[in-house]
């Protein structure tokens, strides 16, 4: 009994220390009311939240800016309003999960616009190939998240699109290995159900695409299972009613994973 009591006391003490640290960070680096109102105006998933969830999101955004290094490159300047907006978008997916789900990486690199990384790979015959693809965002394993600021500013202008949520979804997906559309599920979620729902939706949408039908989701989702999860996550937060209407089972799995009902 003494051991159990000691363990409980240690857990309680850890929570107190953690909360004290959070309170200190929020007190030292508060998000000004004007900046927060501006972020809510420009981030529709945050704007739809109730007052209590908005307050939680504000704390998460504060902690995000404390823990992560936002690094503009190529002459880009981000002011305080820009940083708060970026952090607000980034924290929407972990509103009910907690910022610890973003542990293991440190930097957000922000380009002025779409970027064009050059890479090389060696094929089975030993031939080295150079590749170059224009990107709006990218997430590296335990490395940085990379974003195009022009595409961040375009959130809300293109239906269903949110490049920040997209890349953060990749980060969540990679918590248990390579990005494969199968993030670490919560204890009461069923792995088989997740696989059946996403693979079934994938197969149906692929068939619709082959038949020339208009898809109820960005066709980029069909590039890979990882992109399917990331694109569906974008739509879950940016256009939840459309996702629930057209892909209700996918919507339900994301609702369980993110622990949110976004409308």
Q: Answer yes or no: is 165 within a domain.
A: yes
Q: Answer yes or no: is 16 within a domain.
A: no
Q: Answer yes or no: is 263 within a domain.
A: no
Residue 16 — left, alpha, or beta (φ > 0 → left; ψ -120 to 50 → alpha)? alpha
5 — pLDDT class (breaks 50, 70, 90): very low
- Is the pLDDT at 2 greater than 50? The verdict is no
pLDDT the model gives residue 9: 56
d(CA 172, CA 184): 8
For the chain, the domain total comes to 1
Q: Answer yes or no: is 188 within a domain.
A: yes
Structure tokens at 184: 């670490």
Chain mean pLDDT for the chain:
88
Helix or strand holding residue 110 (H, E): strand 107-111
- Tens digit of pLDDT for each residue in 63-116? 999 999 999 999 999 999 999 999 999 999 999 999 999 999 999 999 999 877
Arithmetic mean of pLDDT, 237-245:
96
Q: DSSP labels for 43-79? A: -HHHHTS-HHHHHHHHHHHHHHHHHSEEEE-TT----
pLDDT the model gives residue 106: 95
Between 114 and 131, residue with greater pLDDT: 114
Query: Cβ distance 57 to 85 under 8 Å?
Result: no
Q: Answer yes or no: is 9 within a domain.
A: no
Between 241 and 12, residue with greater pLDDT: 241
DSSP one-letter code for 1: -
pLDDT the model gives residue 68: 97
Q: Answer yes or no: is 10 within a domain.
A: no
Can you tell me whether residue 198 is helix, strand or coil?
A: helix
Output the domain CATH number for residue 181: 1.10.472.150
Helix or strand holding residue 207 (H, E): helix 191-210
Query: Cβ distance 136 to 111 under 8 Å?
Result: no
pLDDT the model gives residue 172: 97
Distances (CA, A) of 37 to 25, 31, 138: 20, 10, 28
Structure tokens at 16: 């107190």
pLDDT the model gives residue 29: 79
Q: Answer yes or no: is 23 within a domain.
A: no
**For the chain, how long is the longest CA-to-CA vector?**
68
Arithmetic mean of pLDDT, 8-31:
67
d(CA 194, CA 203): 14
Residue with tokens 């980029």: 220
- Tens digit of pLDDT for each residue in 141-197? 889 999 999 999 999 887 789 999 999 999 999 999 999 999 999 999 999 999 999
**Residue 218 belongs to what domain range?**
28-258
3 — pLDDT class (breaks 50, 70, 90): very low
135 — pLDDT class (breaks 50, 70, 90): confident
d(CA 227, CA 180): 8
- Tens digit of pLDDT for each residue in 246-258? 999 999 999 999 9
Q: Answer yes or no: is 21 within a domain.
A: no
- Is the pLDDT at 41 greater than 60? The verdict is yes
């Amino acid at each position: 009994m003494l051991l159990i009591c000691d363990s409980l006391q240690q857990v309680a003490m850890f929570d107190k220390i953690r909360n004290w640290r959070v309170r200190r960070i929020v007190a030292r680096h508060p998000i000004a009311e004007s900046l927060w109102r501006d972020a809510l105006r420009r981030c529709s998933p945050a704007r739809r939240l109730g007052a209590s969830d908005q307050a939680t999101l504000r704390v998460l955004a504060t902690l995000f800016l404390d823990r992560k290094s936002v690094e503009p490159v190529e002459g880009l300047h981000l002011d305080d309003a820009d940083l708060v907006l970026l952090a607000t978008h980034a924290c929407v997916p972990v509103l009910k999960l907690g910022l610890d789900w973003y542990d293991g990486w440190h930097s957000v690199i922000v380009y002025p616009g779409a970027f064009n990384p050059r890479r090389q790979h060696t094929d089975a015959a030993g031939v080295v190939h150079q590749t170059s693809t224009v990107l709006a965002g990218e997430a590296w394993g335990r490395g940085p998240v990379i974003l195009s600021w022009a595409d961040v500013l375009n959130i809300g202008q293109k239906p269903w699109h949110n490049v920040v949520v997209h890349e953060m979804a990749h980060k969540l997906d990679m918590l248990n290995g390579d990005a494969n559309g199968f993030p670490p599920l919560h204890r009461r979620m069923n792995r088989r159900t997740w696989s059946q729902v996403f693979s079934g939706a994938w197969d149906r949408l692929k068939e619709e695409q082959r038949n020339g039908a208009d898809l109820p989701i960005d066709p980029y989702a069909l590039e890979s299972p990882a992109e399917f999860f990331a694109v569906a996550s974008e739509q879950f937060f940016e256009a939840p009613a459309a996702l629930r209407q057209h892909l209700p089972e996918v919507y339900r799995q994301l609702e369980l994973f993110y622990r949110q009902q976004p409308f």
